[in-house]
Amino acid sequence: MSLPALDSWVVRSPEPIAAEVGDGLVMLSVEEGKYFSLNATAAAIWRRLDAPMRISELCNQIVEEFDTSREHAIQAVPEFVAKLIEQNIVAVPPTQPSSEEGSDD
């Protein structure tokens, strides 16, 4: 599994069915025939990907919301996003938004 770069844009796929459960989220991918349970941090990532976002900006937002270091976020967020891409839950958009639409800082 290759990790997406921090400047990669990602967006959630429309296919999974998701429901809030406590602080987390449960999802069902009918296409993949799989069920997923996301903790609070993973659910926060999923919620943010309703529109295309750079992974670096996603890391910044996770650092702001949760008690974690930027170094940990830079390692953990791309790993998690790569797993979501592998399961067809998140995708790299076919056309990348212009640089004015997203910010790294």
28 band by pLDDT with thresholds 50, 70 and 90: confident
Give the integer Cα–Cα distance in Å for 94 and 20. 28
Q: Please give the residue that has the higher pLDDT: either 92 or 64.
A: 64
On the question of pLDDT at 96 being above 80, the answer is: no
Exposure string of 56-87, with b = 16+ CB inside 10 Å and e = fewer, is bbbbbbbbeeeeeeeeebbebbbebbbebbeb
